[in-house]
Amino acid sequence: MRTGCRVGTTLGGWRASSYNSLMDNELAQPSQSRGTVDREDATVPASTTDASAQASASTTQRRAMNRDDFGAMKSYIGFTQSDAANLRALARPLADRLPVVADKFYEQIRADERALAMFPGGEAQIARQRVELAAWLASLFQGTYGAAHFERGVRVGQMHVEVSLPQHYMVTGMEIIRRELEVAIRAAVDADADAKVASMNKLLAIELGTMLEAYKSNYARRIQHREREAVEERLTRAEHMAHLGQLAASLAHAIKNPLAGISGAIQIIRGTLPPASPHRRVIDEMLAQIDRLDATVKDLLVYSRPRAPARVSIDLNELIARVLNVLREEPTLRRIRVRHIRESDIPLIQADERQMEQVVMNLLLNAADASSEGDKVTITTARNDGITMTIADEGLGMTPEVLERAFEPFHTTKTKGTGLGLCISKQIVDAHGGNIRVTSAPRKGTTVVVELPVDDRLPDETAKH
């Protein structure tokens, strides 16, 4: 890729194999004209092809830094005309030493297996990249450091990003170059060596800053892309769920009245049968199945048209005890052990009593359905920032894929049920300003945590002791 100047150095070739191939192809191409164009106080190689101009324009569009940014970096680090003069004065004394610096750099690479692995072309590739590194080092001492000079650093950084080079290689590579240049400077000059080294350190800091800017810009773009995808996914899912809700409400209303009529007719027939009739057992099973259908219809109506909470003062421990008493004879709960661990001094909450009963009932039945004979389900209440209710079972648990869809309506792995229990529970908890979360692992059980806010306006004496 041509951008009007040579950007193939990338700190001596520390890059992924795809970038090495890219630069090898570039080096194999005929050399283009390298005229110079004066821009502000900088001298930059000129591009001579339309393709190069388009590539440069494309890179400019991707660039996050502007000329003011470069000026601000120079001002912040204190890079002055005196520093530029110091570096310009080093060009001739260092001319024969820069290839040595490049050699030292690649000695460090050869000593590091991970760094050396980034050169699949072996010594031939290292030799080519060594020439590029020496040319980049020479450019550091050309003496003019306007925005155009530092824009090259952004392009170098962008190429690192495009090949997914870890940025720590850029930082550590720059430090190796800094050390070797300092040795070369002190060996080449006697006068003002400290000042010249300080000027070189300032320039390398700015060079590194411009290169790393590409990583920051790329990270910001990735975050924006992910956020946009997440928003689009949420909107699509919300629209999908809205359609499902409308369909569910229509079906529920269409089914509810005929179902009530069927149930009433069967109960009348049952009343005409003698107590010892063998048909009573069949009738009872029919009524039980109708009750299941009725419960499904009610779930659909609750999900599709949730109502606002009618808040009253509630003792959560007492509410849980009532639900356990109601479910005592439920077949799925009779085969497991349920333990309620209560913190005695939790305060009252402002909540809709019927809705909170539904949450506790849904979560308990889910835990029971997932449990085997004799398993334990534990309900714990505690006070933290608000009030926390935890329901933990020792059941089958969920895979990560199933867990990810736990709150998705109509999604269930059970042979019976609507897949609305958790969804409705979340709907209710959210309406109360609370939070519900699920953790689970296959064969390790599931834990559901419900966090509810405490109404600070309630007096302390409402707390239960």
Q: Is residue 79 part of a domain?
A: yes
Tens-digit pLDDT profile for residues 114-132? 878 777 788 888 888 788 7
294/329 same-domain check:
no
Tens-digit pLDDT profile for residues 12-21? 444 433 334 3
Under the banding of pLDDT at 50, 70 and 90, the label for residue 320 is very high
Domain count, the chain: 3
Q: Which whole number is the average pLDDT over 408-423?
A: 74
Q: Is residue 2 part of a domain?
A: no
326/440 same-domain check:
yes
Q: Is residue 121 part of a domain?
A: yes
Give the best-scoring range by mean pLDDT among 250-259, 330-339, 432-441.
Answer: 432-441
Q: Is the pLDDT of residue 311 over 50?
A: yes
180/270 same-domain check:
no
Q: Is residue 194 part of a domain?
A: yes
Stretch among 119-123, 270-274, 307-311 having the lowest mean pLDDT: 119-123
458/368 same-domain check:
yes
Print the SS3 string covering the chain: CCCCCCCCCHHHHCCCHHHHHHHHHHHHCCCCCCCEEEECCEEEECCCCHHHHHHHHHHHHHCCCCHHHHHHHHHHHCCCHHHHHHHHHHHHHHCCCHHHHHHHHHHHHHCCHHHHCCCCCHHHHHHHHHHHHHHHHHHCCCCCCCHHHHHHHHHHHHHHHHCCCCHHHHHHHHHHHHHHHHHHHHHHCCCCHHHHHHHHHHHHHHHHHHHHHHHHHHHHHHHHHHHHHHHHHHHHHHHHHHHHHHHHHHHHHHHHHHHHHHHHHHHHHHHHCCCCCCHHHHHHHHHHHHHHHHHHHHHHHHHHCCCCCCEEEECHHHHHHHHHHHCCCCHHHHCCEEEEECCCCCCCEEEEHHHHHHHHHHHHHHHHHHCCCCCEEEEEEEECCCEEEEEECCCCCCCHHHHHCCCCCCCCCCCCCCCCHHHHHHHHHHHCCCEEEEEECCCCCEEEEEEECCCCCCCHHHCCC
Q: Is residue 1 part of a domain?
A: no
Under the banding of pLDDT at 50, 70 and 90, the label for residue 391 is very high
Top pLDDT among 1 and 391 is at 391
**pLDDT value at position 455?**
65
Q: Give me the domain span that covers residue 122.
A: 10-230
Q: Is the pLDDT of residue 449 over 70?
A: yes
Give the best-scoring range by mean pLDDT among 25-29, 216-220, 326-330, 383-387.
Answer: 383-387
Stretch among 161-170, 285-294, 346-355, 398-407 having the lowest mean pLDDT: 161-170
- Which of 304, 325, 357 is the last residue before a domain boundary? 304
- Which of 188, 210, 230 is the last residue before a domain boundary? 230
171/75 same-domain check:
yes
- Which of 203, 230, 257 is the last residue before a domain boundary? 230
Mean pLDDT of the chain: 77
Give me the CATH number covering residue 62.
1.10.490.10
Give me the CATH number covering residue 333.
3.30.565.10
Q: Is residue 4 part of a domain?
A: no
Q: Which whole number is the average pLDDT over 293-317?
A: 80
248/358 same-domain check:
no
pTM of the model: 0.45
Tens-digit pLDDT profile for residues 179-231? 999 999 999 988 889 999 999 999 999 888 887 777 777 777 778 888 888 77
323/271 same-domain check:
no
Q: Is the pLDDT of residue 102 over 70?
A: yes
Q: Is the pLDDT of residue 456 over 60?
A: no
Q: Is residue 206 part of a domain?
A: yes
Q: Is the pLDDT of residue 5 over 50?
A: no
Under the banding of pLDDT at 50, 70 and 90, the label for residue 158 is confident
Q: Is the pLDDT of residue 247 over 80?
A: no
192/289 same-domain check:
no
106/149 same-domain check:
yes
222/265 same-domain check:
no
199/248 same-domain check:
no
Top pLDDT among 326 and 437 is at 437
Q: Is the pLDDT of residue 390 over 90?
A: yes
72/213 same-domain check:
yes
**pLDDT value at position 59?**
44
**Residue 77 corresponds to which tokens in the numbers above?**
């680090």
